[in-house]
Chain A
Amino acid sequence: DVKVTQSSRYLVKRTGEKVFLECVQDMDHENMFWYRQDPGLGLRLIYFSYDVKMKEKGDIPEGYSVSREKKERFSLILESASTNQTSMYLCASTRWPYNSPLHFGNGTRLTVT
């Protein structure tokens, strides 16, 4: 069974802090994703990666960056956290081809105060 693990379930950070959210998958999936989910807005794609060191912007990349140094690990970085980045962050992975479903981690609920 696919396992996608996010490093923290709950996180509280202060405005201006640099925040790292880590995600690891154990199924050798090529593709990894970071979403945020907010009430009434659904899931929105921040960044995705289809290979090591490769990254593509999603719909809302502003204020975020990502790192994929190893195939199994995809990190989301908030360079300078702001209160409007308070959200549920979901990591997901999938293999090729494109019609494969996503497998999600259990989410990180980030609060920025």
Chain B
Amino acid sequence: RKEVEQDPGPFNVPEGATVAFNCTYSNSASQSFFWYRQDCRKEPKLLMSVYSSGNEDGRFTAQLNRASQYISLLIRDSKLSDSATYLCVVNYGGSQGNLIFGKGTKLSVKP
């Protein structure tokens, strides 16, 4: 069974904090990985793709650990506007129908 697991949270952090989320996946044949951000009652929006070597975009860093089958998202210097639900997405390859979404981790950044 192909599964993607995330801690649902909520993660309640003060502004300026560093916060990290993990996402585990069950199938070692997974091909590609993404983090999406979803605001309340809105559609998911791509935050970043996750590359094997890890990648950074401003305050956001994504990493992949194939041996332990997880991906992570690190947010530095949290802003109030980072409050959202963060979805992990894993593509198991073969066809686009093999995109599996985690149920999301809720982040709340407080002043």
Contact = CB atoms under 8 A, between A and B. Distances in A.
Nearest to A43: B101
Interface in B21-60: 31-32, 34, 41-46, 49
A102 B101 CA distance: 11
Contacts of B49: 99, 101
B43 A94 contact: no
A90 B89 CA distance: 15
Interface residues of B, number: 24
Contacts of B31: 98-99
A106 B43 contact: yes
A98 B94 contact: yes
Contacts of A103: 46
A74 interface: no
A46 to B, nearest CB: 11
Contact of A99 (B41, B42, B87, B91): B91
B68 interface: no
For the side of the interface on A, what is the size category?
20 to 34
Interface string A44-87: 01001010000010100000000000000000000000000000
Contacts of B42: 106-107
A58 B97 contact: yes
Contacts of B99: 33, 45, 102
A27 B41 CA distance: 25
B104 A45 contact: no
Contacts of B87: 42-43
A101 B87 CA distance: 13
Given A42-B103, A98-B91, A99-B31, A104 B44 contact: yes
Interface of B: 31-32, 34, 41-46, 49, 87, 89, 91, 93-99, 101-104
